[in-house]
Chain A
Amino acid sequence: MKDLLSVVKSNRAVAENIYMITLALPESAGALHGGQFVNLATGDNSLLLRRPLGVCIAEGNELSLCYQVKGKGTKKLTEAKAGDELKVLLPLGNYFDLSEYKNIAVVGGGVGVFPLIAAIRENKDKNFYSYIGFRNKSAVCLLNELEASRSLKVTTDDGSYGDKGNAVQSFLADAEKLNIDAIISCGPPVMLKALKSGLASLGIKKPCFVSLEERMGCGMGACLVCVCKTSDGKNARVCKDGPVFEINSVEL
């Protein structure tokens, strides 16, 4: 884990309210895997908390993150220009460990697609069957990255691009005929809940790994701010024990 002063190479909109920021790191921070995240300073010193963002594209000492503009911090981030410097703490958390699997379903919604893209990129020898949902046509982005999948189904909530519906529905419709060893997923809590109950009602027992989000303080496991409940009634730290968990090991 390192806290590096990165230099912004580019920062541009890739869809409505979604930006991709590319950072040049002064030195290697080691391998960065899909599911891992970084804690990025916003550039506004009056915001004391860093923003957790998932690793999306890591190439050499360059790292691209994609973020949706939501509140003060991400709004400030959109102002970052090439040449600006931002502190970044990385790598943080665990990742989608796919070493034991060959055929993998990918279920992603909204900004949840970004960490999944990193997982697809670093496992070029595997077969991915991707089901990706966006709000509407103007939110659709990075499809070129997802095209490495064996199959790709895109849905939008309003049907303005791809099929009408959401990623979980379109995955569950295919689930029984897919020959998969594992599922990876990331998206809003309602989506992950629907996935969990859908898998249960279809009796699908394949391992399913989901990446969770929680508000964070330190981002590295020290402050106990970011916990989720595990199925055995304990607390797990999303930042350190996660953010990737087996879907049945946590309460959603």
Chain B
Amino acid sequence: MADLQVNICGVKFKNPVIAASGTYGFGREYNELYDISQIGGISTKGMTLEPRLGNPVPRIAEGTSVILNAVGLQNPGAEHFIKYDLPFLREKGLVIIANVAGKTLEDYGEICKKLDGLVDMVELNISCPNVRAGGMAFGIKPQSILEVTRVAKGGLKRTPLIVKLSPNVESIAVNAQSAEQGGADCVSLVNTFTGMVIDIEKRRPVIANNTGGVSGAGIKPIAVKMVYEAAHAVKIPVIGMGGIMTGEDALEFMMAGARAVQVGTANFANPNAMPEIIAQMNNWLDSRKIKSINEIIDTVIMN
């Protein structure tokens, strides 16, 4: 057994495999399939101060090796999470990351204040492509990333802040630096790429929202490159994601500089993906006699 533990911003993970926001709910359903205390952590469905109903259906479409979604931040509100889901997750003993979003700058500050000290980390979703107000609007321009990070950080006295970056930008390195300047303790990337799938019989986009966020295996090479660029532009730790389906995929992200990874779409293709990824990472390390996962972080040798 290799040592899979990682430490990010003082938070201890039993392994570096975290459920990606929006694909895993608040963990209850996957816990009906396997004991979710095996995984390193969970980033919750994106939460807002007030409950939201989200977008009309259909909310999902499929391409080759990718999917598109436009759920639009349907969620029961932060209050409901604190009362109902947080106690359940606490019992499971995994790192709890609250993924949060807002319509205005003030919303971001307020929701962070509400969750401060209650969860292990807060992940700022400024990169959701599927909502009109807020979401990605804050996550494109370096200046607005800096501002929203500063406001969010102002609400967090005890809980480390992750800023989740959008890949739909000019320079991921510059944006990662803006988050760092704004006071982020960590950055995570990538959120989904905006895309469209058209039903040629109906001559209409499949998704009711017309466009959606592209995720899954097909985005992995782009995501790995962006994670590499972000990790080499900032001093704060980076969490990588985008198309991870196997333990080998996860190791690529870690070699590119990520300290941990998140797994999203793979949970749909293979509901047992996360425990399997953890086992595969362990086997890879064991078979190469590498004692700790930390030995492979940021070890890619560029040609």
Contacts and interface: CB of A to CB of B under 8 A. Distances in A.
Contact of A224 (B54, B61, B62): B54
A139 interface: no
A218 interface: yes
Nearest to A228: B57
A245 to B, nearest CB: 15
B268 A217 contact: yes
B267 A48 contact: no
Interface in A132-168: none
Nearest to A3: B271
A221 B61 CA distance: 17
A50 interface: yes
Interface residues of A, number: 32
Contacts of B65: 46, 48
B271 A46 contact: no
Given A49-B60, A215-B59, A215-B60, A224 B272 contact: no
Contacts of B267: 218, 222
Contacts of B269: 41, 45, 48-50
Contacts of A50: 268-269
Contacts of B32: 1, 220
A208 interface: no
Interface in A180-239: 214-228, 234-235
Interface residues of B, number: 34
18 contacts: A1-B32, A2-B33, A3-B272, A41-B269, A46-B64, A46-B217, A49-B67, A50-B269, A214-B57, A215-B60, A215-B61, A219-B268, A222-B25, A222-B28, A223-B23, A227-B59, A227-B74, A234-B53
Interface of A: 1-3, 39, 41, 45-50, 72, 87, 89, 214-228, 234-235, 240
Contacts of A49: 60, 62, 67, 268-269
A245 B15 CA distance: 41
Contacts of A225: 57, 59-60, 69, 71
Contacts of A214: 57-58
B33 A215 contact: no
